[in-house]
Structure 1
Amino acid sequence: MLLSATKSLLSDQLVFKGLKQGLTLFIPEEKSFAHWLEILDLQLKQAKNFFQGGAILVEIGERKLSPSEHGDLKRLLAKYRMTIKSFNPLEKKRFNPWPREIQKKEKQAEVLFFKGTVRSGQRLENDGHIVIKGDVNPGGEVVASGDIIILGALRGIAHAGARGNLQAEIIALTISPVQLRIAHIFSRTPEGREERQGPEIAHIKGEKIVVQRL
C-alpha cells in the first residue's frame, strides 16, 4: 500500500511556468488538494534553493480553497521561504500548461529572467524566451518556446524553440552541453572538444545545429 502511494506521488508533477505576470504554480483541479500539497513539498525539497525567497502566483482554476487549505499552502511555501503574490492570475482564461498543438498565430513572446545556477535535477521552463544570469550545470535543463540566453556556461540540456520554432537560438558565454535541441533537431558536444571561452551562438543551419562564436 505504501509502495503504491509512493509511486503515485512520483508519477504526478506540478508545473511552474514563467508568465507575463510572474512565476506561476499550476495546481490541477483533479485529485485532492492535500495530494497536491504532498507533491509540492516533494518537488520543492528536491529543488533545494531553486525557488527560495520568491513570491509566486498560484493558478487553481475553479477550485475553491477552504481557510485551512489556504493556510496549509501558505505554511508549506513559508517552509521554503516562498510567499503567494496572488491567486488565479489568468482571470479564468482557459489555459493549458501542456499544449497539445502549436497555435497558428504567434503571440508575443514573454521573457523569463532567472538569476542563479540551474543545478542537476532542476528544470526551468517558459512559454517564451529565457534569460539566465548564471550557469546551467550538467543534469540541469532549460526549455523555452523561444530563444535561450545564458550569461554563463551551458553544460546541461538546453531546448529552444520547443514548440517547433526553427528560428530559435541558444546563446551562452560557454557552450559545452550534454544536449542541445532546437525545435525537433538535437545534437551533443563531440567527445574531446575543448571548451571554448567567449560568447557563442547555436542555431539551425540546413538540417543540423551549428555552434559559432559571436
Structure 2
Amino acid sequence: MRILLVEDDKRTSDYISSGLASSGHVTDVLADGRDALAVGLRESYDVVIVDRMIPGLDGVSLVKSLRAAGGKLPIILLTALGGVEDRVEGLEAGADDYLTKPFAFSELLARLHALGRRPPMAQEKTVLRVADLELDLVRRIARRAGQIVELLPREFSLLEFLMRNEGRVLTKTMLLERIWNFNFDPQSTVVETHVSRLRAKIDRPFEVQLIHTVRSTGYSLHAPR
C-alpha cells in the first residue's frame, strides 16, 4: 500500500515508517497539517495515518478538510487523547479508525490491513494492471499471464511504484527516495540490483518485456508500443 503519514514527532514517524517499509509498504511522511492537506488532495494514497496534534492544521481539522473535499480514502487518527469524547470527535470528523498512543506497531499494522480488506470505493484502485501483469495491493499478490509471481516486500513496493507510474520515466534518484528513503548516492547499485531481480521474475519468463531501461535516465514500465 502507499501510505501518507502525518506526524511531527520524528521518533514516532521514524518508528512507524521503518516498520511499514519492512512490511513492504511505501510511506510518505509529512509533519505539517496544511502541507498534508495539499499533498492528500493532489496525490493518490491507499491510507492516511494522521497524528491529532500537528502544526499548521490539527489532525481533526485535516480529516474534516479531506472529507469536505470529497476524499474517501481510509484515515487512521493517532492520538494521546484516549477519552470517549475525543474518540467520538475524531470518528465524527470522518476518521475510519482511532489508535491511542502509546501503541504496538503490530496493532497499527493489523488495523491497516483491516481497512484494506474493506470493500473499496469505486474510485480507489486496489488492483493495478499493465498488459497481462496484475498487482493486488490488498492481498499483496502479483500475477503475470495468470501465474503468481513471488515477490519480496521491497520488490513488491518497487513494482507497485513502477505500475502506478505506467509509461513515466522514473529516475534512479526518484526510486531511491521513494522505495528506500535514501538520498541520491551515485555509488549505490541498490536500484539496479533490485530492478534486475524484478525483471528476472516478471519479464524474463515471458515473451513480452514490460520494464524498460531509459539510457542514462532511469526505468519505465509499460506495454509494448
TM-score between both structures, scaled by the size of structure 1:
0.37
Q: 1 or 2, which has the higher helix percentage?
A: 2
